Amino acid sequence: MTNDISGRIAEDLKNRLAQEGEHLQVKDKDGEHVGTVDHFDGNQLKLTRDDSTDGQHHYVALSQVESMDNVAVYLNVSRNDIK
C-alpha cells in the first residue's frame, strides 16, 4: 500500500509542477522552510541550490513526503534528516 501512496504522490507532484510552472516550497515536520522543489528525479524531489546553505542540491525521498497543497510540500522529517 505504501508504494501505491508514493506512486499517487509522485504523479500528483509531477502534474502539479508541470501545471504551475513554478517551484513548490518544501517544509519540514515543524513547518520550517527547507527548500524549493527544482524537479522530480526518480523517486526523489531534487531541491534547488538557491535555498541551500552549502550551495548544493539536496534530495527528499518520496517516503519523507507527508502531504502537499498549492503552496508547499510538507515532510514527515526535520530539516536535519534531508540529504
Structure confidence by residue, pLDDT tens digits, 11-20: 777 777 667 6
Position with higher pLDDT, 39 vs 16: 39
Report the domain count for the chain.
Answer: 1
9 is in which domain, residue-wise? Answer: 5-81
Mean pLDDT rounded to a whole number for the chain: 82
DSSP per residue, 18-55: HHH-SPPEEE-TTS-EEEEEEEEETTEEEEPSTT-TTS
pLDDT band at 1 (very low <50, low <70, confident <90, very high): very low
Residues near 54 by beta carbon (within 8 Å), at least 6 away in sequence: none
Q: How confident is the model at residue 23, as a pLDDT? A: 78
φ/ψ of 4, rounded to 5, equals -65, -45
What tens digit of pLDDT does each residue of 52-76 get?
888 888 999 888 988 888 888 899 9
Q: What is the CATH number of the domain that holds 73?
A: 3.90.50.10
Q: Cell 510540500 identifies what position? A: 73
Cell for 45?
524531489
Average pLDDT over residues 15-41: 83
